[in-house]
Amino acid sequence: MKNILNYLTAKNAKILTQSSQSLISFRALRFAFAILAVNITLTSCNDKKTEEPQEEEKSSTEVVLTTSQYKTVGIETGIVEDRNLNKIIKANGYTTVPPQNSAEVSTLIGGTVKDIYVLEGTFVNKGKVLATIQNLEVIEMQEDYHSATANVEYLQLEYNRQKILSDENVNPRKTFQEVKAKLAAERARAQAAKNKLDALHVSTKGTTSVVPIVSPINGYVGKINIAKGAFANTGVSLFEVVDNSQMHLDLNVYEKDLGSISIGQVIDFVLTNQSNKSIKGKIFGVNKSFSNESKTVAVHAKIDPADAKGLIPGMYVSANINITNATVPALPKDAVVKNADKYFVFMQENEKTEQKHDYAAGEKEEVNEQEVHFKAIEVVPGTTDLGFTEVKFVNEIPANAKIVTKGAFYLLSAMKGGGEHEH
């Protein structure tokens, strides 16, 4: 019995030892698999991290918009232009017209305003009636003219009769001389009355108390300083008429720059409130005296009549007087945007259509939309003036490439993550 117990005890111990060894082997195997899984996960993450910068680098210079987004944002494109932006003298000034192309219309006789026939901004020809006034003194002027002309007719006949009698020594010569003097006086009175009526643009025929106010030049009516029923005084401006066909610039140039200014130099100028519209002109005159106490000299420049359309006197301008004819590639200043410490412009690439997908039965097919692709191109900006910036491209771009001139800031925001297009 004792031997049997010893046998069973030894056998159970062996079995327990084998079970323990199997359990330890199983745990070791599980631990090995766990380590292998962690290694695979870490390797996958590292590969993903290695791939992400490449994808980010690729997408960080491109922006994609649908055609509807393109229209909503209001993207505008243009090409690189050659402009005079260096070796210049900057000057400020304003648009104006020669004295003979501007008129302040007044009246030579006071009166009550009867009618006004024009509005501000109306184009009128020389001699056009702008308004009428009433003054009873005009009737007296006409009466004086008619009386004088009647006396002239009578005295002319008397002059002829007295001349004959004087030649035949029938009447004293003194009588003939008296008639001659009266005839001359009446002629002078008639001519004076006629001149007054002509100056007032009133007819010598008939009688009227109405005096027309007429335009002395062709041009546009500016200010109207009268009202119907008001009294118009002499020497007071009633209307302003301006002929803009001979528009030019008056630029203020400082004394230190006068030595570089000469007649014939080309200028580029922009209106202060329309900085993207550049207009050309040419210097035709330089004053020989300083303007007031500003220590500047007025420089006059012609504007081509085609470019002068839409300009009015008194508009302030900023101008570049081109001392040399050197030109540089330039874009509107809004086309150049800054990201970190670099500058970019966006070039529009060819439009693409989104790929079609296979849809299962019953699924609704989405409408495909054209895509517009933009690529950020690094540039080195130079001189900025007159609404344009000189640009030098770090890498060569295709000729006549479409560059975004309006909406570049939106594209920059989208590129940086503020408004990407999702597929």
pLDDT at 53 exceeding the cut of 60: no
Which one, of 253, 309, 324, 323, lies nearest residue 277 by Cα?
309
* Highest mean pLDDT pick, 67-71, 134-138, 204-208: 134-138
d(CA 161, CA 176): 9
pLDDT at 369 exceeding the cut of 80: no
Whether residue 344 contacts residue 309, with contact meaning beta carbons closer than 8 Å, is answered with no
d(CA 184, CA 190): 10
- Residues with Cβ within 8 Å of 53's Cβ and at least 6 positions away in sequence, in order, are none
Mean pLDDT of 374-393: 87
Mean pLDDT of 222-247: 92
pLDDT at 119 exceeding the cut of 90: yes
Average pLDDT value for the chain: 80
d(CA 264, CA 352): 50
pLDDT at 54 exceeding the cut of 50: no
- Residues with Cβ within 8 Å of 321's Cβ and at least 6 positions away in sequence, in order, are 88, 89, 90, 91, 251, 253, 260, 261, 265, 267, 283, 299
353 pLDDT band, cuts 50/70/90, is low
pLDDT at 15 exceeding the cut of 60: no
**Which pLDDT tens digit goes with each residue over 190-232?**
999 999 999 999 988 888 999 999 999 999 998 999 999 999 9
More confident position, 104 or 370: 104
- Helix H or strand E segment including 343: strand 342-348
Residue written as token pair 């649908």: 66
Mean pLDDT of 53-63: 59
| Burial class (CB within 10 angstroms; exposed 0-12, middle 13-18, buried 19+) of 149 | middle
Provide the pLDDT for residue 275: 60
